[in-house]
Structure 1
């Protein structure tokens, strides 16, 4: 074989080796970073879909609260995630007449319908929807609850979530979530003419208390930016207290509590 042919053969081998190496490197990069990007995209889509589903759930539960229906059903794709009713929050409502010093107090559980995907929790609690990271500081109330404090009036719609069965659902496929209105009662006013009527109050305090994954920070941030005469009066890692009627006395106070039973199918 001539020197020219031998050199050409060596060049072909080197070129082939380099090209093969480039192909292997490209495949490795695509496999490493492409799959990571694909997994990140899928995770983002699951979270966005869950956000939209919980917005629908909140609207359906609003209809139950307002007695527009007695039963409402929505569906969510589990996709390897889980959902449950967590008994992890409670509320104490104190209606105060500052002129007479009288108070009316009610305490009850709120609980939360909560969906867990990777390290995020998406849920419905007291008329609101939220998204938080587990064991982290980041979180937000996505949808405002039915709590109005403006023009000298407090109109507060409070919601307790209960599970018909103590079930933690996980896996894949579509899960149907059904809410049923169990009870709706007026907590305040408690009478029309005596102490406890709608106009015999100046301030309302709401104390949210949490166990497990706390959402005190998210609720405090919500009330800091909420329209109306709200103020955060105290906050710890596991509780937050807010006041309606912080800057001026209220003329009328109405507090209603609804109980919604949740079941799965």
Structure 2
């Protein structure tokens, strides 16, 4: 009789231990799932914010193109920075037409996101620069056809270096329009145009643009980050300069 009571007590202790262990596993599993789900949600949220940042920079590029296309005196773009940083960086493009070289200091407007991705506007192009690789979000007006080459570069001036959580307005004003090539009074005849992007803020992004998005531009056989349009009859290189300021 005493043995039966001891056996029942042992089973009671075992059941209690089993229940405690099972309950602990359930609680721990819920905690892990909750933490994992929260982390995934934060990752998705950061990715969505980066997508929005990319869209707004493409919108900025489309708006500023009015200066080049229509000679618009002033344009504004409203964006919400969401705490992201916005800055300008030096960036130079070396354009050579039949041996005559010109360095255009175009500069770059960079939006630094919380996810570590940079959204870059430069010379009409928009690049998404991230750890996973580079994405060409918008192509510049660099054309190489069987008989001609055309390059339209947009140069930014002014100072931009800030971050904000609220909406801000970027205002661009037309300063100057310059025909880089041909020179005044000369015919636009040319046989070769070369573009060297080694001194840009993101040469690897330009490399991807030329090699994947602009197949008619061929890599120079001996110069890194240099691409050529050859076998043509004419070439035009145009530079539009605009000043950029921020209105809070």
What TM-score, normalized by structure 1, do the two folds share?
Answer: 0.80
Cα RMSD of the aligned pairs, angstroms, is: 2.5
In the TM superposition, what are the counterparts of 1:48-197 in structure 2 within 5 Å? 48-67=51-70, 69-87=72-90, 89-96=91-98, 103-117=99-113, 118-133=115-130, 138-163=133-158, 166-192=159-185, 196-197=186-187
How far the C-alpha of 1:30 sits from its partner, in A, is 2.7
Which position in structure 2 is the counterpart of 1:226? 213
Q: Give SS of 1:57's match.
A: helix
Which position in structure 1 is the counterpart of 2:238? 256
1:157–1:255 CA contact under 8 A, matched in 2: yes
1:91–1:208 CA contact under 8 A, matched in 2: yes
Structure 2 stretches lacking a partner, 5+ long = none
Q: Give SS of 2:31's match.
A: helix
- Please give the alpha-carbon distance, in whole angstroms, between the structure 1 residues aligned to 2:11 and 2:169: 69
- Please give the alpha-carbon distance, in whole angstroms, between the structure 2 residues aligned to 1:227 and 1:17: 66
- Structure 1 residue runs of 4+, over 6 Å off? 4-9
Which position in structure 2 is the counterpart of 1:100? none
Higher helix share: 2
- Please give the alpha-carbon distance, in whole angstroms, between the structure 1 residues aligned to 2:48 and 2:68: 30
User: Please, which of 199, 203, 223 is the counterpart of residue 216 of structure 1?
Assistant: 203
Which position in structure 1 is the counterpart of 2:35? 32
How far the C-alpha of 1:51 sits from its partner, in A, is 1.2
